[in-house]
Amino acid sequence: MWRGLSVLASRTTRAPSRLCVCLRSGAQSLAPGSTVFALSSGQGRCGIAVIRTSGPASGLALRSLTAPREPPPARSAALRLLRHPRSGEPLDRALVLWFPGPQSFTGEDCVEFHVHGGPAVVSGVLEALGSVPGLRAAEAGEFTKRAFAHGKLSLTEVEGLADLIHAETEAQRRQALRQLEGELGQLGQHWAETLTKALAHVEAYIDFGEDDNLEEGVLEQADKEVRALEVSLQAHLRDARRGQRLRSGAHVVVAGPPNAGKSSLVNMLSRKPVSIVSPEPGTTRDVLETPVDLAGFPVLLSDTAGLREGVGPVEQEGVHRARQRLEQADIILALLDASDLGSSSSCDFLDTVVVPLAAQRPDDGQRLLLVLNKSDLLPPEGRVPSPGLPPHLLLSCLTGAGLDDLLKALRTQLAAVCGDPSIGPPLLTRARHQHHLQACLDALSQYQPASDLALAAEALRVARRHLSHLTGGGGTEEILDLIFRDFCVGK
Ligand SMILES: Nc1nc2c(ncn2[C@@H]2O[C@H](COP(=O)(O)OP(=O)(O)O)[C@@H](O)[C@H]2O)c(=O)[nH]1
Ligand SMILES: [Mg+2]
C-alpha cells in the first residue's frame, strides 16, 4: 500500500489536474479509485451533522441527492432539499458544499452535506449515499489517508491532525496545531536540504577534485554544515521527551508520609473524589491514577501510599509501589503536614526523598515541589515552620489557601518538563521521530571525508534517507497503519 500511495502522490504532484473530475462532464466513470462516504462529525443526537464524500463519484452523489437542482458553485454553501435517489423521498433540507479536486482536503472531489443531526436523518442520508453507484462506506482514517496519498499532508502533518483531534488540553492543542501546520515537517525538510547540499559538494569533489574550476573550500564547507546539523539534531533529541510528555501526559506523583493530606490534594487537583480521605493513617494502599488538565498541561496524577516502615504486608506492598512510582515521576509533589514536621515519618521522608531530590539540578531529570499542607493548623504568627527546609509552598487543602501559588509553581514545572508549545522550535512528539533522527545521526557518525570520500558520500545518502522517513518520503506500510489507527471513521 505504501508504495502505491507514494507513486500516486508523486504522480499527483506532477499532474494534479488528472485527478480533478469535472462535475458536469459525467467523467466520474473515467477517473480511477473508489468514492467513499462517512459521517465526519461526532456520533449521537446533535444540532448539525457533517457527512462527507471523497472520490471521483462525489459529483454524481451530489447530483443524485439534490436533483433536479443544479449543484452549487465550488466551495460555496447552498441550501438544498436532499432526496433518496431511488424512492425520491425527502430526507432533509441541508447545506451542501462542493469541493472539486485537487482543491479539497483529500485532493479528490469532495462533497459535504451539513444535515440536521438526528440519528434518522443521518442514517437516511448515509443509506441514500450507499445506493449511489460507485460509493462505499469509508474505513477508519480513509479521508486522511487519501489526503496523504495526494500529497495534501505529510506524515508529520497527519500525526499533528490525529493529535489535534485527540487534544484535551490547551498545550496539547497548541503543539498539535503547530505540527499540523507543517512546522516539524519543514524543519525536517530544511535538515534534508542541508544534507543534499553537502552531498552535492562531496560528489562534485569526487568527480572534479583535480579540476581547477572547482571552487576552493568546497569540502570544508560541506564538513562545517554537516557538523552543525549534527549539533542541531542532538539538541532536538535531547528535547524529545518533552514533546512526547506533552502528547501523552506528564507523570506527577503525590508522595509523603501517612496522613499528610496526599489524597486530599489529589482530589482537590482533579476536582473529583479519586481517593478516600480519612484521618486513619495508611488508608491509601494502591497507586491511584487520574488524568487531569493542570494549568493547560495534560497530567497523569498519582496518589500513593504514605511512606513509612514497620507496617503490615498489604501496606508494605503499597509503600513498595509508591517508591516504584516515585522513580517514574516527572514531577514529585512532596507533601508534609506543616503542623507535624518533627514526627519521625516526616523526618524520614525529608531525609530519604526530599533532600536528595532537592540537591539535584532541575535539568537532571525529576523535579520536586515541596508542599507543606495543613497550614490552617499553624499558629497565625509562626508562618515559617522550619527555617532549614528546602524551598517550599504552604497549602491548606481544607481552606484552599495557597492553591493558586501551587498551581502557578506546577505550571512552571510542567512547562519545563513538557516544553512550552507556543515558543521555540517544534518538538519531536513521537518515538518514531526520535528513531529517525537517531538513525540519521548514527549514519552521520560514519561521515569521515578525510579518510574516504566515497564512504562519506554514502553516509550522507543514508542519513538523508532516514530524515525523509520523518515526513513520509519512503517508508513502510506498518508505520502508516500505526499512524492511521489513531483515526476513526469519517476522519
Ligand atoms: N486541618 C487540615 N486537615 C487536613 C488538610 N488536608 C487533609 N486534612 C485531613 O488530614 C487527614 C488525612 O488526609 P488524607 O488526604 O487522607 O491524607 P493522606 O494519608 O496523606 O492521603 C484527613 O482527616 C483530612 O481531612 C488540611 O489542609 N488541613
Ligand atoms: Mg491517602
Q: Which helix (H) or strand (E) holds 181?
A: none
Identify the weakest region by mean pLDDT among 70-79, 207-216, 350-359: 207-216
The architecture (CATH level 2) of 247-418 comes to 3-Layer(aba) Sandwich (3.40)
Identify the weakest region by mean pLDDT among 155-169, 210-224, 350-364, 423-437: 210-224
Q: Which helix (H) or strand (E) holds 459?
A: helix 453-471
Angle, alpha carbons 152-3-34 (nearest 5°): 65
- The whole-number average pLDDT for the span 12-22 is 29
Cell of 220: 570544508
Identify the weakest region by mean pLDDT among 173-187, 215-229, 303-317: 303-317
Q: How confident is the model at residue 9 (pLDDT cuts 50, 70, 90)?
A: very low
Which DSSP symbol is given to 396? -
Task: Name the residue of 337, 397, 399, 406 to mutate for ligand 1: max ligand atoms within 8 A of Cβ.
Answer: 397
Task: Find out whether 472 and 145 touch, Cβ atoms under 8 Å.
Answer: no
User: What is the 334 CA–ligand 1 centroid distance (Å)?
Assistant: 14
Q: What pTM was estimated for this model as a whole?
A: 0.69
User: What letter represents residue 146's amino acid?
Assistant: R
Question: CATH number of the domain at 2-154, out of 3.30.1360.120, 3.40.50.2300, 3.30.420.40, 3.30.390.50?
Answer: 3.30.1360.120
Which DSSP symbol is given to 23? G
Neighbours of ion ligand 2 (CB under 5 A): 262-263, 283-284
Q: Is any atom of ligand 1 closer than 6 Å to the C-beta of 398?
A: yes
